[in-house]
Every structure is written in structure tokens, then in C-alpha cells.
Amino acid sequence: MHTKVLKRKKKQDSLSPAKVLTFGFTLIIVIGTFLLSLGPASASGQKLGLVDAFFMATSAVCVTGLVVVDPATQFSLFGELTLIILTQIGGLGFMTMGTLIALAFNRRISLRDRLVLQEAMKQNTLEGLVSLIRRVAIYSFVIESAGALLLAIRWSFDMPMGQALYYGVFHSISIFNNAGFDLFGAVHGPYSGLSAYVSDPFVNIVVIVLIVLGGIGFIVLADLLSFRTTRRLSLHSKVVLTVSGILIIAGSLLIFVMEVFKSPAFQELSLTDQIFAAVFHSVSARSGGVSTLSVSDMQQSTQFLLLLLMFIGAAPGSTGGGIKVTVFAILIGAMYSMLRGKEDIVFFRKRLSKESILRAITQTWLALFLVILTAMILSAVEDRAFLALLFETTSAFATSGLSLDVTTKLTDFSKVVLGLVMFLGRIGPLTLVYALTPKSKKELFRYPEGDFIIG
């Protein structure tokens, strides 16, 4: 008996952080699928199909926001609450939630738990992890509460106060966690999104701020809040804020230029509303998943730009997906260094390590292979335009949630494939590779250096 216990304990301890994260997210998706497939979760009482329930649960846990049914008209209150709880767990991460519960009961956080948290939060060190988790909980509660209150006040002019408060809480959690689920299908028609508020600067600003705060990551938020005392920002925060700012501004300008002269929906708006719409979709594309205009009605050039922004995504340690802005920065830095004949990639007078560069390149190639291969598979089984399928695939991988209104029309096979892509996008292709491959041994020798012609 004692031997069996020791073997079981040894097996548990052998689980790597990557395996724990992979199995943990899988378990939550399975539970979510079961709950959403129940009769009480449906507004009509008719059970949601297992594939559709799997897709919606995966979209919530992976904070994507892609839907195959309209949440407001399909789900009952129980179903909506299940969806938003899954979103909250998925946004903060199940290990973060577990740690918070453990801290509430004064349970000691083991070294193994800290290693898993380190992988989940994309930290380079174990130092200060528990403190970071506490701050993550506080930041999330304060930001989501403020967003809920502001949105509830605004929507109280359009609906009863109780409903406005519920909508405020639901959408604040959904938007801050970069999921993009909305309940306005019950008010303005299925899949209407925030189209009724395209000319509402208050809603636009609150939503943009929530997406940005959720997308820059908790590490950057902690840095910004402590800046008054420390008077300095980490290299990570500097790169995330700089690259995010450039992407928002450049994306807004390009969307404005490409839509203002050709898009009928865009031309109907005032200049101020056009600027808000351009900024809104530039911000939302990199993981927000909400829209005030129909993306399917935009120019193909704009759709492709949104696709690129989705692929880049948000910051590491945030609620967003994509290859991450820091990886994009490294790729641009590598190109710049090569063109200038420099040996090192330097940001803010700091040289990047070879490991960081190789990890960024690997992550980008894995993401490209996944997106392209999935789009090709969908193209082989679906009679849809390739750009539309590539857009949906990128949205699933980047956990963005923007759609060209194709996902609801896909076959069950394609829905399952996109569900798996959302899962891979949330945990990260590299994390899955680490989880599935045996632990590599340290090389005891190095091969002689070789050379071949490039370009």
C-alpha cells in the first residue's frame, strides 16, 4: 500500500508545468461542455448539440469569443452564467484561480504549484509569484467592477436598472478578459454585437480601455501602478507599451484610410464616429473580439489587416492570444539588426539573449504552420472563400473572436477543428510541445560549425 502511494506521488510530481496546464484547461473545457449541453442551460429547454456545446465551452475557456450560436438567444440565465464563469476562469487561468482559493484557506503554495504558475504567467523567475497572483486578483476585480459600473450606468438609459447592471457585469468580464461574448442579440437581434453603439463615444471609450488593460498583461499593469514609487519600468513593459501603441495607431490609420472612401457603412458615420470605429477595431482585433461594425462588410484589404493584427495578438501574461507583441518586436528587431549589420538585437539599451530570439522564431513558425495547415484543411471540406476560412482560423488561434460570419455555417468537423485550434492558441503551441515531448537531456558535445548560402 505504501509503495503504491509513493508511486502515485512520484507520477504526480513528474508532471511538468506544461502538462498540468494542458490537462487543467482540458478538464475545464470538458466540464463546461457538459454544463452547456444540459437542458437548463438552453433558453428553449432543448439541449444544445454536443459539438456546439464543446465549441462554446472551448471559446469561453480559451477567451476567444467565436460563437456557433447567439449566446443571448440560445442560453438561459444558467447558461449565460456558466459561459461567463468559464470566461473568468479562462482569462485569469485555472492555476491563478486555484492559487487564490488556496490562499483564502491559508494553504501553503508548493514548489510544484509555483513552477506551474511560472509557466502560466510566462515569468522567468519564481520570485514574487504569489504576490503577483494577489495583485492579479485585485487588478481584475477593480477593473472589472469599474467597467461594469460605467457600462451599467450608460445602459440604464436603454433598459431596466437590474438588466443594465447584469449586462454591465457580464460584458465587463467578457471584454476585460478579451473574450468578446455579448448579450445584445436579445435586444437588437442575434449576432448584432455592439453595432447599436457605434456612435456612442462613452461605450466606445470604456470598451477600448477594458480591452487594452486586459491585453497589455498583469505584469505591465503592476509595473505601471508601482511606477510612482520605483520611477522605472521593466524592459518587458517598455516593449509591450511601445509596440502596442504603434500597432494601435498604425492599425487605426490604415483601417480609416481603407474604409473611409469605399465602405458604405463607414461613409454613413460622422468623422468623429469614423475615427472611433477605426480605433475600436484596431484595438479589438488584437484579441478583444467585439465589433461595432460588421467585419464581413469591410474591404478585403481591411479584413486582411485585421487578420495580421489578430495574428500578432496581445502581450504575454495577459488575457489575449496571438504570437504576442514581444515576439513580433523580436522579429522586427532581428530584421533591423540584420539590415544594419549588427550582431545583437537591442531594445532600450538591453541586448536580448539567444534563447529569447530562438523561442520567438520557433513560436512564430509553429503558429504559422498551425494557422496555414488548419485553413487548408477547412478549405478542403468547406465550400467557402479561402480568406474567410483563413480569417476564422487566425481568429481562433489568436483567441480574438472577430468573425466574417462563417463559423456558424461550418460543419461539425470544422467546428471541432477550430475548437482544437482555440485550445492550442490559448495554452500556446510551445507549451503543448513541451507537454507531449519527453524531457530532453543536456547535450554533452557540440557539432563543428558549418555554413551554407542564404539568399
Q: Quote the pLDDT of residue 1.
A: 46
Domain holding 133, by residue range, is: 16-435
160 is a domain residue: yes
138 is a domain residue: yes
Query: What sign has the CA pseudo-torsion 143, 392, 327, 367?
Result: positive
63 is a domain residue: yes
> Mean pLDDT throughout 411-429?
89
String of b and e for 228-265 (b: at least 16 CB within 10 Å)? eeeeebeebbbbbbebbeebbeebbebbbebbbeebee
Q: Which of 10, 66, 27, 22 is nearest to 401 (CA)?
A: 66
450 is a domain residue: no
The pTM (predicted TM-score) of the whole model is 0.87
Domain count, the chain: 1
395 is a domain residue: yes
56: its cell numbers: 462554446
Give percent of the chain above pLDDT 90. Answer: 49
Tally the residues of the chain.
455
142 is a domain residue: yes
250 is a domain residue: yes
Contact 402, 305 (CB under 8 A): no
Q: Quote the pLDDT of residue 98.
A: 55
Q: Quote the pLDDT of residue 6.
A: 42
446 is a domain residue: no
Q: Where are the alpha helices (DSSP H) in 156-234?
A: 161-176, 185-188, 201-216, 218-225, 227-230
> Mean pLDDT throughout 43-53?
91
- Using pLDDT thresholds of 50, 70 and 90, give the confidence band for residue 339: confident
